[in-house]
């Protein structure tokens, strides 16, 4: 029988486990603080616990599911990508990006992805399995430990690594709550951005959660014909349904929504697409993130050049839509948006 995995336990679960062992309830909080605040890696580090309890924790709990296999650092040193294998051999990748004042993690919620987006390397590899809440959380703790060694800390988390977060809804939201927990890492909900291809029912459900996370919708095209070519999920959930769910989200949360747009030369970077996009977003508290396409082996499209990207941005701004061209990070190590997939 497999031992319970520590990161899949809530504080209540851990308390119940320890009291079942005959330990006082306060021991659970000591262990919780040790892992999530002091970032101790295993029971041997818990010198505030009796030796017998440390030994039992080591024997009866698994303290890691993430086995690092390979890491790549960008030439500028600002981006680090780590490939992990899970106990069942499935891969996942996590990326740390260093900015002037931020240390952002791009975290995976699935191994592979079922959405099949044409230009996304994870979509091209297919779906392996959902990650558990603990496997999502452990990615953050792993990098928090590495950052702490340099006197730094995680400031932001984007759930836009491998997988569609809303396709693994319960585990994703449980992971966010665990990382947000005031007794643990206590990362503010507004430091999380959840990126989705647009699953309407899940967006409506998210609107009714008591979490002020940021929502990003990967739109990439402003008409159904083009979007269905790029994102097959659009055949099931056309743009009108996605936008209706987004308006419902805004009505309930009063929060701004970000729309992601991978700029592909002469495909979706045209004046016509900019005009249609502006019409779709009119009246919404919205912001558009333009991301010149990151290359993947399975897609032949080319990134928009600087002039076409700037023209698209200006066309939106003239129509009153706030818009930025995102700084591309980690392209030389295939760590940019849409590039995460394991070939090892």
Active site residues: 93, 337
How is residue 141 written in tokens?
């703790």
CA dist list (Å): 28 to 7, 9, 49, 57, 174? 13, 11, 11, 11, 19
Question: Distance between CA atoms of 139 and 134, rounded to whole angstroms?
Answer: 9
Q: Which of 84, 218, 102 is nearest to 139 (CA)?
A: 84
If phi over 0 gives left and psi between -120 and 50 gives alpha, with beta otherwise, what is residue 116? left
DSSP type of residue 118? T
Q: Report the relative pairing of strands 257-263 and 214-218 from DSSP bridges.
A: parallel
Among 134, 152, 138, smallest CA distance to 97 is for 152
How far apart CA 162 and CA 166 sit, in angstroms, is: 12
Q: Please, is 327 exposed, middle or buried when counting C-beta atoms within 10 Å of its C-beta (0-12, 13-18, 19+)?
A: exposed
Residues 84/131, Cβ–Cβ less than 8 Å: no
Residue 267 · residue 305 · CB < 8 Å: no
Q: Are 208 and 248 in contact (CB under 8 A)?
A: no
Query: What 3-state DSSP class applies to 130?
Result: strand
| Token couple for 58 | 């080591």
Per residue in 45-54, is it b (16+ CB within 10 Å) or e — as a string?
ebeebeeebb
H or E element in which residue 11 lies? helix 11-20
């Amino acid at each position: 029988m497999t031992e319970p995995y520590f990161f899949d336990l809530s504080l209540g679960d851990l308390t119940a486990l320890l009291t079942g062992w005959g330990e006082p309830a306060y021991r659970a909080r000591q262990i919780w603080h040790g892992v999530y605040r002091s970032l101790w890696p295993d029971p041997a580090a818990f010198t505030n616990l009796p030796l017998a309890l440390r030994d039992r924790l080591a024997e009866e709990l698994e303290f890691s599911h993430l086995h690092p296999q390979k890491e790549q650092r960008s030439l500028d040193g600002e981006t680090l990508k780590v490939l992990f294998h899970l106990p069942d051999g499935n891969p996942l990748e996590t990326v740390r990006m260093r900015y002037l004042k931020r240390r952002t993690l791009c975290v995976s919620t699935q191994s592979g992805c079922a959405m099949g987006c044409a230009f996304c390397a994870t979509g091209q590899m297919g779906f392996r399995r959902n990650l558990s809440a603990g496997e999502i959380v452990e990615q953050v703790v792993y990098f928090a430990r590495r950052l702490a060694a340099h006197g730094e800390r995680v400031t932001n988390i984007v759930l836009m690594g491998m997988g569609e977060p809303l396709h693994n809804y319960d585990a994703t939201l449980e992971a966010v709550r665990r990382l947000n927990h005031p007794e643990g890492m206590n990362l503010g909900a507004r430091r999380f951005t959840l990126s989705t291809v647009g699953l309407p029912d899940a967006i409506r459900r998210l609107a009714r959660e008591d979490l002020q996370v940021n929502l990003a919708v990967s739109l990439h095209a402003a008409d159904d014909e083009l979007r269905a070519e790029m994102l097959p999920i659009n055949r099931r959930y056309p743009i009108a349904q996605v936008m209706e769910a987004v308006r419902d989200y805004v009505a309930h949360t009063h929060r701004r929504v970000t729309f992601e747009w991978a700029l592909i030369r002469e495909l979706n970077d045209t004046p016509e697409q900019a005009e249609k996009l502006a019409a779709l977003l009119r009246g919404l508290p919205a912001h558009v993130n333009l991301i010149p396409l990151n290359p993947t082996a399975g897609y032949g499209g080319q990134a928009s050049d600087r002039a076409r990207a700037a023209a698209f941005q200006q066309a939106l701004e003239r129509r009153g839509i706030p818009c930025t061209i995102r700084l591309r990070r980690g392209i030389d190590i295939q760590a940019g948006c849409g590039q995460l997939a394991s070939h090892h």
